[in-house]
Structure 1
Amino acid sequence: MKRADLHTHTTASDGLHKPSENVRMAAEAGLSAIGITDHDTVAGLNEARQAAKTYGIEVVPGVEISTAQDGQDIHILGYYADDRDRVFLARLASQRRVRDSRNELIVAKLNELGVSLSWETVLDAAGRDRGPDETVGRPHIAEAMVRIGAVGSLQEAFDRYLAEGKPAYVLPPRIAPAEAIAWIHEAGGAAVVAHPGLYGADEAVESLLRDGFADGVEAYHSDHTAEDERRYAAMAERYGVIATGGSDFHGERKGRVYHGPIGWRSAGADVVHALRERAKDRRAARLSDSPAGGGIASD
């Protein structure tokens, strides 16, 4: 059966591998499709699409948008949105500015806690000259902490400092999940609630499905238990939305794969088709709502 890993990250955000490498690994894993879903950016999609021609698999264009509701961090995956739409790109750029501010606040908190870490060290840990559309994340900060000897591993960095509820954790002002879903819909894409099992907020997740906002929920994820997967698959069926799956692959650091290897969690080809069709419906609705029937807003 054809399978697709619909959730992976690349060097365009906080992944370790280039988009073309993710595509290659997906092909080697026997997948027929791979989702490229970097945080608040679509900068990796063009490289991935070029690689897909070489390796003979499909790239599902995506993005993962950071949001918050009632103090809870919630992520929304967007699939098949128009990644050339200028309004959508400007909105993602605003998200990246929030992320940059959060990162600077984390570094400042670490300094207050006695961890002498500079922003330049974090950028060096990212391992590249960051492009204007690329992002830096907490794994890069954790890697920088390992390099200066503040912690012995990335896991220790999160357990002691960076995870939610820890001394250097920062939750900046975020847009609400419903707003991110609206952005994705307005760009002609399908919106999916990412890894709901990580939130401990099933009521909030269910409300996004029940009230007709989200098009799907990521039932199958590397950090979900078997019970989580059954619960969210049932939730998707109950509200008539799409149950998706993905590894949330970020690459291997210090011998550990975060969150799982490519293909560790996946979805069937029917799910890819359903997402594509739902995105087509969103684009059609957007066209019909346009006063001149002229297409998706682009300025």
Structure 2
Amino acid sequence: MSNHHQFIDLHTHTLASDGLHMPSDNVKMAKEKGLAGIAITDHDTVAGVKQAIEEGQKIGIEVVPGIEISTVANKLDIHILGYYIDYEDQVFLERLNQLRDVRSIRNDMMIKKLQELGIEITIEDVLALAPKKKTKQTVGRPHIAEVLVHKGIVKTIKEAFDVYIGKDGKAFVSPPRIHPTTAIDWIRQAGGSAVIAHPGLYENDELVEELIQHGVDGLEVYHSDHSPDEEKKYLKLANKYQLTITAGSDFHGERNGEVFHAPIGGRKVNIDVLSELKRK
């Protein structure tokens, strides 16, 4: 039977990363919008995938297990989507864990630099100041700044940033992020297909083409932030390299009727592409 009237949105976020909705809600919304399927692609985590798949089985929506991995090349934030990864693969999960630890690694590096500058500060000082929330408190530079004010090293938070921990400060550090080619390799090693997310946002087609040549399976030609001209251009590029053409809304949620990026199904593609993503 032909699927030519069935569509899927291959790029959505949930509460597992920076979206606003439960994974199961994304699946329900896909059904309400008349889609046949949806992918869950949270940033650097697969924590929402299982719940979405269970909901999909309940209500008859195809759920594609996915991920969106944050990487950096040429100082640009590049996002690589992965589909049909083995989301229980221990090596893959450990790698994602390290990606999510970048912030705490940065804190440790900054504190070490401050100590080298003769300032008596420890990670314990910083954690003691961070509010003890029930959720996982993300400790970052504002908390380090507060400790510096507290200890009388600086008078204000602004001075803490200007002198020490802002990007021109004496103790600023930027831990290395992985390169997109590494993310592509990780996805493939976890049995998945790698797709370059929203190529139009990078404004660097040379880099996009280099990544394609490294070996990706698909290109997100249709994205909420692409202009019609960009969609034409990336369609050509995808065809030139015989890549799977994907589409995604990049849905993050709605609050008070206001939608971030686009609603679910805001960009969609024929569900037939799944057989290509699976085959790869």
Q: Does 1:35 align with 2:39?
A: yes
Q: Is residue 73–residue 171 contact of structure 1 (8 Å, CA) maintained in 2? A: no
Alignment of structure 1 residues 221-260 onto 2, 5 Å: 221-253=223-255, 255-260=257-262
- Residue of structure 1 in register with 2:57 after alignment: 53
Structure 1 residue 233: deviation in Å? 1.1
Structure 1 residue 207: deviation in Å? 1.2
CA deviation map 1:230-260 (0-9, x unaligned): 1111110001111111000000135431110
User: What secondary structure does 2:222 align onto?
Assistant: strand
Quote the RMSD (CA, aligned, Å). 2.6
Change (3 A) 1:236 1:102: farther
Q: Is residue 8–residue 262 contact of structure 1 (8 Å, CA) maintained in 2? A: yes
Q: What amino acid is aligned across from residue 44 of structure 1 in structure 2?
A: G
TM-score between the two structures when normalised by the length of structure 1 = 0.70
Structure 1 residue 266: deviation in Å? 1.0
For the pair shown, the structure with the greater C-alpha radius of gyration is 2
- Which consecutive residues of structure 2, in runs of 5 or more, have no partner in the other structure? 110-128, 143-166
Q: Does 1:88 align with 2:64?
A: no
TM-score between the two structures when normalised by the length of structure 2 = 0.75
- Residue of structure 2 in register with 1:196 after alignment: 199
Change (3 A) 1:120 1:66: farther
Choose the corresponding residue for 1:213, options 203, 206, 215: 215
Choose the corresponding residue for 2:185, options 182, 185, 200: 182
Q: Is residue 61–residue 79 contact of structure 1 (8 Å, CA) maintained in 2? A: yes
Give me the identity figure in percent.
54
Structure 1 residue 182: deviation in Å? 0.3
Structure-2 separation of matches of 1:171 and 1:30: 44
User: What secondary structure does 1:244 align onto?
Assistant: strand
Structure 1 consecutive aligned stretches of length 4 or more whose deviation exceeds 4 Å: 99-105, 118-121
Alignment of structure 1 residues 21-170 onto 2, 5 Å: 21-99=25-103, 120=131, 129-130=135-136
Change (3 A) 1:8 1:119: farther
- Which consecutive residues of structure 1, in runs of 5 or more, have no partner in the other structure? 106-117, 142-165, 279-299
Q: Is residue 3–residue 32 contact of structure 1 (8 Å, CA) maintained in 2? A: yes
Q: Is residue 193–residue 277 contact of structure 2 (8 Å, CA) maintained in 1? A: yes
User: What secondary structure does 1:76 align onto?
Assistant: strand
Change (3 A) 1:62 1:255: same
Q: Is residue 52–residue 58 contact of structure 1 (8 Å, CA) maintained in 2? A: yes
Structure 1 residue 201: deviation in Å? 1.1
Q: Is residue 10–residue 22 contact of structure 1 (8 Å, CA) maintained in 2? A: yes
Count of equivalent residues: 226
Change (3 A) 1:102 1:38: farther
Structure-1 separation of matches of 2:57 and 2:194: 26
Structure-2 separation of matches of 1:47 and 1:87: 21
